[in-house]
């Protein structure tokens, strides 16, 4: 770059790879102003020292500083002022990082459920299997149950409760019923709705599920005949020498949150089992 006393706005634009519009805006808001303005034609000129401020601005921009914050940094002439600005930005970016992480977790978990449902449907997976499930923490709320699956899964009271305890959730809705027999017979009156928390929680706001073996069966399609899959688990357990505990879980892999086509619903039923 040829060293000159002054550079026109066009030259600065080319040298520093920045638009003339941006340079005029920086002048307007008081970040970088031209060092000389011609009276007759209002042309703007910048000296070399001012040019060297532009890489600094780009680096501030990379770090996430807003233009107003940059102006304060340029005006700051003590380490204390600059340190406070950077500390504030670090705190802001930490919060942003946490929010992005929470959003990523929620989207990734939902995406994984869609993939799981696709594999279950494509491979027509509906046989009973025994598997170990890890112990997992869930936020929960106990409710009355009236076999209205849509309102139990897309649950306004549950959403309001989570907001009241300042938490967010991820992963599938899980409904915990006190008795698989009552659920199978259509007489169950109580349910516990559960989902994994993302944020910090109090001990009385969560419950644990897992840390044991379950008989698992995917139910494909509408919830209206889900009792048939329960019967399948019960019959299988009896014929293979397993005892079913009363408590049962329905894990909604895909449901009203994902599709309006009930034929595409995938629900995993889980009942803890032990050997005779």
4-20 pLDDT tens trace: 889 999 999 999 999 99
Listed residue (143, 222, 159) closest to 195, CA to CA: 159
Residue 169: what pLDDT?
97
Q: Judging by DSSP bridges, how do beta strands 190-197 and 169-177 pair with one another?
A: antiparallel
Query: In order of start, what are the domains of the chain with their CATH numbers?
Result: 6-75 (1.10.1660.10), 101-274 (3.20.80.10)
Q: What CA–CA distance (Å, rounded) separates 249 from 192?
A: 9
How far apart are the C-alpha atoms of 139 and 33, rounded to whole Å?
A: 55
Cα–Cα distance list, 187 to 63, 119, 183, 223 (Å): 59, 32, 6, 15
Q: What CA–CA distances, in Å, run from 83 to 72, 76, 224?
A: 12, 10, 62
| pLDDT tier at 39, thresholds 50, 70, 90 | confident
Digit-coded pLDDT (tens) for 97-131: 999 999 999 999 999 999 999 999 999 999 999 99
Q: Note the pLDDT of residue 1.
A: 57
Whether the pLDDT of residue 36 is over 60: the answer is: yes
Q: What is the mean pLDDT of residues 27-45?
A: 90
**Angle in degrees, 0-180, between the axes of helices 53-62 and 67-75, rounded to the nearest 10:** 130
| Average pLDDT along the chain | 94
Q: Model's pTM, two decimal places?
A: 0.82
Q: What is the pLDDT of residue 41?
A: 85
Residue 8's pLDDT is what?
94
Q: Band of the pLDDT at 2, cuts 50, 70, 90? A: low
Q: What percent of the chain has pLDDT over 70?
A: 99
Q: What is the mean pLDDT of residues 23-34?
A: 92
- Provide the token pair at 152: 């139990």
Phi-psi sector, 145: left (phi>0), alpha (psi -120 to 50), beta: beta
User: In angstroms, what CA-CA distances link 271 with 158, 223, 265?
Assistant: 24, 17, 20
- On the question of pLDDT at 3 being above 80, the answer is no
């Amino acid at each position: 770059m040829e060293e000159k006393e002054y550079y026109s706005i066009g030259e600065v634009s080319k040298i520093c790879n920045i638009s003339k519009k941006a340079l005029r805006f920086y002048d307007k808001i008081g970040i970088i102003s031209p060092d000389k303005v011609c009276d007759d034609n209002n042309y703007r000129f910048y000296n070399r020292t001012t040019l060297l401020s532009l890489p600094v601005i780009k680096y501030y921009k990379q770090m996430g500083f807003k233009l107003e914050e940059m102006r304060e940094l340029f005006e700051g002439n003590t380490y204390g002022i600059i340190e406070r600005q950077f500390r504030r930005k670090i705190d802001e970016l930490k919060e942003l990082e946490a929010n992005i992480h929470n959003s990523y977790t929620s989207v990734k978990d939902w995406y994984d459920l869609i993939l799981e449902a696709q594999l279950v449907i494509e491979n027509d997976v509906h046989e009973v299997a025994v598997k170990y499930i890890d112990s997992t923490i869930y936020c929960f709320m106990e409710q009355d149950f009236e076999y209205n699956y849509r309102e139990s899964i897309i649950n306004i009271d549950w959403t309001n409760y989570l907001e009241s305890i300042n938490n967010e959730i991820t992963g599938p809705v899980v409904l915990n019923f006190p008795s698989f027999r009552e659920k199978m017979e259509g007489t169950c009156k109580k349910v516990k709705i559960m989902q994994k928390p993302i944020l910090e929680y109090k001990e009385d706001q969560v419950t644990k599920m897992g840390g044991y073996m379950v008989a698992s069966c995917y139910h494909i399609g509408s919830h209206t005949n889900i009792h048939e899959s329960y019967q399948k688990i019960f019959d299988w357990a009896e014929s293979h020498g397993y005892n079913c505990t009363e408590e049962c879980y329905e894990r909604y892999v895909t449901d009203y949150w994902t599709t309006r086509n009930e034929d595409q619903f995938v629900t995993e039923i889980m009942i803890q089992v032990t050997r005779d």
